[in-house]
Amino acid sequence: MPSGTNRIIVTVIGRDQVGIIAAVSAVLAEAHANIVDISQTTLQEFFAMIMMADLEQATLPFADIKQRLNAKGEAMGLRIDAQHEAVFNYMHRV
């Protein structure tokens, strides 16, 4: 990996509702992914939550975690994505 770290950025975009953080946290906890930071904001009328998680101790590969997050998003009517931290590092930091 070009970045050297094993952190991911999880983004949740959609209408605000009860239990979003709990649901995403549950998926990450099941995979032993450690949440290192959370922030939330509004993007036009939509709610956006951003979470950084460390996969160093994770028991599942990134692809599986991502798939579980996508599935959870679909079930809740939200768009949940996960991308490797390197994407943001490359784009926004020189």
Partner 1 sequence: MPMQFSAQEIIETIRMVQMENLDIRTITMGISLRDCAHPDLPVVAERVYDKICRVASRLVPVGEEIARDYGIPIINTRLSVTPIALVAESAGAGDYTVVARAMDRAAREVGVNFIGGFSALVQKGTTTGDRALLASIPEALAVTERVCGSVNVGTTRAGINMDAVAQLGRIICDTAARTADRHGIGCAKLVVFCNAVDDNPFMAGAFHGIGEPECVVNVGVSGPGVVCMAVKKEPDADFGALASIIKRTAFKVTRMGELVGRAASAKLAVPFGIVDLSLAPTPAQGDSVARILEAMGLERVGTHGSTAALALLNDAVKKGGAMASSYVGGLSGAFIPVSEDEGMIEAARMGAISLDKLEAMTCVCSVGLDMIAVPGDTPASTIAAIIADEAAIGMINAKTTAVRIIPAPGRTVGEVVEFGGLLGTAPVMAVHRWSSAGFIGRGGRIPAPLQGLGN
Q: Which residues bind partner 1 (CB under 8 A)?
A: 1-2, 9, 11, 13, 36-37, 39-41, 43, 48, 50, 52, 62-63, 66, 79, 81-84, 86-94
Smallest gap from Cβ 56 to partner 1, in A, equals 12
Smallest gap from Cβ 11 to partner 1, in A, equals 6
Q: Which is nearer to partner 1, 68 or 84 (CB)?
A: 84
CA distances to 19, 45, 81 from 26, rounded to whole Å, are: 10, 26, 15
Cα atoms in the Cβ-side hemisphere of radius 13 Å centred on 64: 11
Smallest gap from Cβ 70 to partner 1, in A, equals 11
The 8-class DSSP code of residue 88 comes to: H
Structure tokens at 58: 């994770």
Structure tokens at 61: 């590969």
